[in-house]
Amino acid sequence: MWTVYGPGENLKVVNFTTNQELEVGITLNQEDTLEIDTRLGYKAVKKGDGSNQFFRLSPESVLWPLQRGENQVQIELSNTNESSKVIVHYVERFLAA
């Protein structure tokens, strides 16, 4: 689960470990947030007000999960300031026998 706090534009997150990326063509104001849910079975892109933003994903985007172990990830967000940030919430899942 990724949470992006504005301001910022044109989010791009690349996982070099899996060679996958997601790109969201959106403009976030100072008070805006964007939530990207990449969990298995939950795929969603929503603003903090709950509005669906899935249509803003580029056609090449993949809502990829983090891989077990280390992941090399690059985050790009233009037109930011000191209030802008991207937070990832990650919980490792285990299969039960």
Can you spell out the DSSP letters for 71-83? --EEEEEES--TT
Number of domains in the chain: 1
The answer to the question of residue 96 being in a domain is no
User: Does 93 map to a domain?
Assistant: no
**Residue showing tokens 């060679």:** 19
Assigned domain for 26 exists: yes
| Half-sphere exposure in the Cβ direction for 29 (13 Å, CA) | 3
Cβ 72 vs Cβ 16: under 8 Å: yes
Residue 84: name the closest of 33, 13, 26 by CA: 33
pLDDT, tens digit, 9 for 90 and up, residues 76-91: 999 999 999 999 998 8
Q: Per residue in 30-70, pLDDT tens?
A: 999 999 999 888 999 999 999 999 999 999 999 998 888 89
Instruction: Please tell me the pTM assigned to this model.
Output: 0.89
Pairing, β 73-78 against β 85-88: unpaired
Residue-range definition of the domain harbouring residue 6: 2-88
Tokens of 42: 């939950």
